[in-house]
Each structure stands twice: as structure tokens, then as C-alpha cells.
Chains A and B, each alone.
Chain A
Amino acid sequence: MFPGIEKNLAREMPVGMGQAVVTREPARLTSILGSCVAITMYAPKLQLGILSHVVLPNANGSVAVPAKFADSAVPYMISVMQDRGVKLGELVAKVAGGACMFGGGRFMDIGEHNARVAIAELEAAHIPIIGRDIAGNVGRRICFDLSTGTLTVESPGHPSRII
């Protein structure tokens, strides 16, 4: 449970690597991120939201797990929201994650690349990005509150942020 957040009837649903979860209020979607990126889309009127836990920037033709890749996650998320009656113009997005952890080795640029592709895909789809908390070299624990659309971001040794 996130400190500072009052426990209520909202379900807390973890979203694992490569997963996308769509749900509506009352619910909170949570993830822990390192180099991965969380993309959220939210339809405020319906209090409906989706979170994808993106692992890699490009699918390179792979279609089996669209939420795993930044370039396939965005169109997939849009189609899931549209299937639920949301118009494209009603969506707002946020992006968090994309850290470079522990020096990173050969994969040190992946986090940055994940964030860059996610942002580019959202911009190409004309979905306004109203919050972002990306890059750096520490992990993030995030909580997407479907009642408000806020994204709470916590990192060890840093004050929590709400975007």
C-alpha cells in the first residue's frame, strides 16, 4: 500500500512487465519500473484508464504482446479505449520510468529509448502528454488512481511526486 494514500474500497491492481490493464474507478493500477516505461491514458469523463508496462522500444513486427513495446503499445491502448466508447480527443496521457539502472551495461540506453519512443508515438497520435517523470538512475513505484487520473511516483531517497 502506498504511504500517504488512504485505504478505501479501490482495488489495487499490479501491472506486470509487458502487461496492459484497463479499468475504471474505483481502482488503482500499480507498477514498479526501472528501465521500463509506464504509459497511461485516461478518459476523465468516464474515469476510465489504461496502463501499459512497456519493456522495450520497438516491436519489430512482433504482435503477440503489444503492451511490451512502446511503438505497439500506444496504438493498442488507443484501440482498447475506443472499444470502450472513448473518443481519441477525450484521452490524456502520462509517461513515467525509463531509468538507467546500475550503470546499465550493454543496455544502458534502453530506458531513455523506451521513453523517447513512447513520447513520439503519443505525439504522433495527437494525444496530449499532461505529465511525465522519466530518465534518471533510480527505480520508480507508481500508482495510477482512476478516480482522478493522477499518477503518484515514488523513488528511494526522493520525495514522492504527483503528476
Chain B
Amino acid sequence: MTDVSCLETTKLSLLRELFASATHDASAAMCCWTNSLITLTLDEVCEVPLQSVCTDLNLGDEPLTMVVFNLDGGAGGAMILTFTEESARRLAASLLETDVQGSPDWNELERSALTETGNILGCAYVNAITRLIDHQVVPSPPHFVVDFGASVLEQALLGQVGATDTVLIGRTRFQHRDAELNWWLLFIPTTALRAVMERGLPVTP
């Protein structure tokens, strides 16, 4: 991913620590929920030009299965949990202890299983951020969406794009034991939340 490095390097590094800590909490919650060894690792925190963000995040041009939250509070943002369809179907089948469904549609149980996964992940992630920056952020009810990743990301970025032509995004990846899963968690703060996060960073000597 292009790293424009408009942020001071130190600030970006501290933001990575903040995101890594939230990822750790979300990882623990995910292990409990899936009763397996699915872990989360912070992939990157970066500031990228608006015009290349969808390409840089490699969201592709095929529809993805997503669970999306708006983050409310004085300063908010959005979180997007993305899966390829195959990954999403495998996870739903695993949680529901069924075989992978061949139907092109998502039934209520499958939607519910994925939405709850997003809810658990998102809440753990947001709770950690809230604790670390001492600022209340409240996730909305999750939305189950099957759409183009770039289309959903566009709307999630609206809280940043008015003020700047670069955007800050934290991306987390998932693993099952040592195998990479085609899941990603994107954390997109608004400009206001980004400022709160930067103010809340510990000052290093």
C-alpha cells in the first residue's frame, strides 16, 4: 500500500500501537466466539491518497460480503468487516455447524451468524479504542451488506474526505492457525476521531 507519510512518523507509529492493542482485544473475543484459533493481526495503519485508496486496499471489483458499523459519539467513523463470499460461507457454516450452503442467497441464520461475528469483533475493537483514548465511541447496530467493497468504503470515508485529500485507515487481517483467511477489518475514523486519537496518544520522551 502507498504510504504517503503525511503523518509524522512518530505519530503514525503510536497510532499503530493503539490499533495493535485494539486488535489484540478483538482477537481474544474472536477466539472465544469461534471456539477455534482464529487470530487477528494488525496489517497496517496508513495514510493514503483518496484517489488510490480502493486500489491500495485491494478491494477488487467483485462484490464482497461485509458487516458494516457506523461509529457514533462526539467523534465517530466506521468499521467494515469484509469477506470473500467463499470465506463468509465457510465461517457461517462453521458457526452454524452445517455444510457450506450452495444457494446464492443468504438465509436469515447465515446473516445472523456473520452479523454477530461482526458485532463481537467490532465491540471488542471499539471498547479497546475507547479505553485507550478515553473517548466514548458507540458502534451502531451492524449492517449485513453484499456489495462492492469500494462502494461501501466510499460512504465510510465521508467523515474524512471533506477536510483532506488523504485518508487514514487501519487494516487488520485474520488467520486460522497459520493460514491466512480472506477476511479484513477496516477501521475508518472521522477527521474528528482521528484528532481525538492523536491527542490521546501517549507522549514519548
Contacts and interface: CB of A to CB of B under 8 A. Distances in A.
A149 interface: no
Interface residues of A, number: 33
Given A65-B165, A106-B70, A34 B54 contact: no
B146 interface: yes
B104 to A, nearest CB: 9
A156 B70 contact: no
Interface stretch (A12-20, A87-95, A120-128): A12-20
A49 interface: no
A27 B187 CA distance: 35
A104 B50 contact: no
A106 to B, nearest CB: 7
Given A105-B70, A110-B158, A68 B50 contact: yes
Contacts of A35: 154-155, 158
B50 A141 contact: no
A110 B151 CA distance: 13
Interface residues of B, number: 31
B153 interface: yes
B161 interface: yes
A32 B54 contact: yes
A140 B151 contact: yes
A64 B165 contact: yes
Contact of B150 (A34, A55, A138, A156): A34
Interface of A: 14, 16-19, 30, 32-36, 53, 55-56, 64-65, 68, 99, 101-107, 110-111, 138-141, 156-157
Given A32-B150, A105-B70, A140-B151, A55 B161 contact: yes
Contacts of A111: 155
A138 B70 contact: no
Contact of A17 (B61, B143, B146, B161): B161
Main secondary structure on A side of the interface with B: loop
Interface in B149-176: 150-155, 157-159, 161-162, 165
Interface in B81-100: none
Contact of A34 (B61, B154, B161): B154
A114 to B, nearest CB: 10
A141 B152 CA distance: 12
A107 B50 contact: no
B51 A141 contact: no
B53 A101 contact: no
B78 interface: yes
